[in-house]
Amino acid sequence: MLSRTEGAMHFTINGMQYDADIDVRTSLLDLLREHLGLAGSKKGCDHGQCGACTILVNGRRINACLTLAVMHQDDEIVTIEGLGTIDDLHPMQAAFVQHDGYQCGYCTPGQICSAVGMLDEVARGWPSHASADLARPIFDDDEISERMSGNLCRCSAYPNIVDAIREAHAASIESEQAA
Judged by the rule CB under 6 A, the positions of this chain that interact with ligand FES are 43-46, 48-53, 63, 65, 102-108, 153-155, 157
Rounded Cα distance between 178 and 5, Å, is 52
Is 48 one of the binding residues for ligand FAD (CB under 6 A)? yes
Of 4 and 60, the one with the shorter C-beta distance to ligand FES is 60
SS3 125: coil
Our CA angle for 51, 57, 58, nearest 5°, is 145
Q: Walk across the sheet containing 60-63 and list its strands.
A: 16-23, 6-13, 76-78, 54-57, 60-63
Asked whether the beta carbons of 13 and 32 are under 8 A apart, the reply is yes
Residues 68-87 that bind another protein (CB under 8 A): 68, 70-71
- C-beta of 26: minimal distance to ligand FAD in Å? 17
For another protein, what does the binding mask look like between residues 30 and 69, x meaning CB under 8 A? ----------------xxx--x--x-----xxxx--xxx-
Residues lying near ligand FAD in the complex (CB under 6 A): 48-49
